[in-house]
């Protein structure tokens, strides 16, 4: 005969409120011992909850402080519920009645009880009441489809409004705003655009224009999300980061890979030593832009400038700052169409990055450690799953974090959340990360400029 009846429930518990506490009290009343599973940030994002304000750590602490909660665990995957019910010998799984029927399959493991929720209060409502609407303006039209993808993904982020765009191309601007169901105001004067009620800008223009557009936006007191690279020349990025700090605004690189649920879970597993000490990181990122009808002027920016930020993100996040970098570039067009980049890091660790716009390769990544390795299938920069493999294949694991859309919504949600919470740095992509990532293309451009000057003098 069991001495106590165990109850388990799960939730995000963002901005802990009366509705949460009443539900948890009802759950505890069903038995003697209440276990609460608080969802992890990466798991929340993988299931489409993009607008959670508080960190996992803060939410766990809030639930632990409740006198009627006996144990708090962290939920990291959908399959965990069934595993927990067996592990903790659970008698009742309690959940809000807005989930009626969704968890009936768990009756195989325990009794499922749907509890009435408190009407008129929710975390979604509290977020809407407590945070101002963020007005964001877009800079650049790109090829149109990139702009539209950003607009489509932004619709999934709450408290965000986009209705203005800037472009020097007046005719393209007029055509776009006429067709758009979101963008109502077009500007071909950047100063006038910045003088509107927008508080933030997203920049997607020619790479050589990033620095100027970012600098002006920061000086105008606007938060900035900009496609990488943020700058192409030495000391420009540090200047921009310094300016953002001075103006007390957020400057974030739009490297969407950094914000994906699976990518962040990968970093967590590596930090926990899942494959021992990491010794080498290999990543490939290639794209034949000519087959996508990109103009020659775009490709003339070079493969390193266009694509190296992606593998540099993976290498920098895992191995840290590089000690020295070697380039093996190809290209007779006046710019590099391919580059093999080898970087050395502390402890003899090595990063191998391959980028190309004039050839195609398998876009996968391999992270090698002393106990095993991680394989991320193509396209690794849109990380949805990764495999952890060992000498003993029976110990291998698969981590799967599917996401909706093209992945941009996670980046937009992080940018929006940071602004709402008054934060100026993202843990997923810190200023130090951005400097380390940019170092690769900055060194490459500097060396190419020196080579050009040397040849000119000869």
pLDDT digits (tens, 9 = 90+) for 48-74: 777 788 889 999 999 999 999 999 999
Which regions of the chain carry the CATH code 3.40.50.720? 132-255
The neighbour count for residue 323, using CB atoms within 10 Å, is 12
Above 90 in pLDDT, residue 240?
Answer: yes
Which regions of the chain carry the CATH code 3.30.360.10? 261-402
Which residue in this structure is represented by tokens 């716009």?
Answer: 357
Which regions of the chain carry the CATH code 3.40.50.620? 6-125
Above 80 in pLDDT, residue 215?
Answer: yes
Q: How does pLDDT run across 6-33, given as a tens digit for each residue?
A: 999 999 999 889 889 999 999 999 999 9
Strand residues in 12-103 grouped as ranges (E): 33-39, 71-75, 92-96
- 396: its two tokens: 């291998």
Mean pLDDT of the chain: 91
What are the two backbone dihedrals, phi and then psi, of residue 386, each rounded to the nearest 5 degrees?
A: -150, 150
6-125: which CATH number, 2.60.370.10, 3.40.50.620, 3.20.20.140, 3.40.50.300?
3.40.50.620
Q: Assign domain 132-255 to a CATH class.
A: alpha beta
Above 90 in pLDDT, residue 123?
Answer: no
Q: How does pLDDT run across 270-313, given as a tens digit for each residue?
A: 999 999 999 999 999 999 988 888 888 888 889 999 999 999 99
pTM more than 0.95: no
- CATH for 261-402 is 3.30.360.10
Higher model confidence: residue 147 or residue 372? 372
Q: How does pLDDT run across 324-356, given as a tens digit for each residue?
A: 999 999 988 789 999 999 999 999 999 999 999
Which residue in this structure is represented by tokens 């996992």?
Answer: 56
């Amino acid at each position: 005969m069991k001495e106590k009846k165990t109850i388990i429930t799960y939730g995000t518990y963002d901005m802990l409120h009366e509705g949460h506490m009443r539900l948890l009290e009802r759950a505890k009343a069903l038995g003697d011992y209440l276990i609460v599973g608080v969802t992890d940030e990466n798991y929340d994002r993988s299931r489409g909850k993009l607008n959670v304000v508080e960190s996992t750590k803060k939410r766990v602490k809030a639930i632990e402080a409740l006198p009627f909660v006996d144990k708090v665990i962290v939920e990291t995957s959908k399959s965990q519920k069934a595993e927990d019910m067996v592990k903790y010998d659970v008698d009742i799984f309690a959940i809000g009645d807005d989930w009626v029927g969704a968890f009936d399959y768990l009756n195989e493991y325990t009794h499922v009880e749907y509890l009435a929720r408190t009407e008129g209060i929710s975390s979604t409502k509290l977020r809407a009441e407590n945070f101002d609407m963020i007005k964001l303006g877009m800079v650049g039209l790109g090829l149109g489809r990139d702009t539209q993808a950003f607009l489509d993904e932004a619709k999934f982020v709450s408290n965000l409004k986009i209705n203005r765009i800037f472009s020097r191309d007046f005719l393209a601007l007029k055509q776009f705003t006429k067709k758009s169901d979101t963008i109502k105001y077009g500007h071909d004067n950047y100063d006038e655009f910045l003088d509107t009620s927008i508080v933030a800008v997203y920049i997607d223009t020619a790479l050589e224009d990033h620095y100027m557009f970012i600098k002006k936006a920061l000086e105008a007191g606007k938060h900035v999300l900009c496609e990488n690279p943020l700058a192409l020349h030495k000391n420009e990025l540090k200047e921009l980061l310094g300016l953002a700090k001075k103006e007390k605004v957020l400057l974030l690189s739009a490297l969407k890979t950094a914000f994906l649920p699976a990518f962040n879970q990968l970093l967590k597993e590596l930090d926990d030593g899942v494959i021992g000490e990491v010794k080498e990181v290999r990543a490939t990122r290639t794209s034949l832009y000519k087959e996508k009808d990109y103009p020659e002027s775009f490709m003339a920016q070079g493969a390193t400038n266009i694509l190296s930020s992606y593998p540099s993100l993976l290498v920098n996040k895992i191995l840290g700052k590089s000690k020295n970098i070697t380039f093996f570039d190809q290209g007779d067009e006046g710019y590099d169409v391919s580059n093999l980049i080898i970087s050395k890091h502390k402890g003899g660790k090595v990063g191998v990055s391959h980028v190309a716009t004039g050839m195609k390769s398998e876009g996968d990544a391999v992270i090698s450690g002393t106990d095993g390795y991680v394989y991320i299938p193509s396209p690794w920069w849109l990380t949805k799953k990764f495999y952890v493999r060992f000498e003993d294949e029976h110990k291998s694991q698969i981590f799967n974090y599917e996401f909706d859309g093209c992945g941009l919504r996670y980046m937009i949600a992080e940018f929006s959340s940071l602004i709402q919470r008054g934060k100026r740095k993202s843990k997923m992509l810190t200023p130090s990360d951005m400097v380390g990532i940019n170092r690769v293309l900055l060194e490459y451009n500097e060396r190419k400029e020196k080579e050009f000057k040397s040849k000119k003098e000869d």
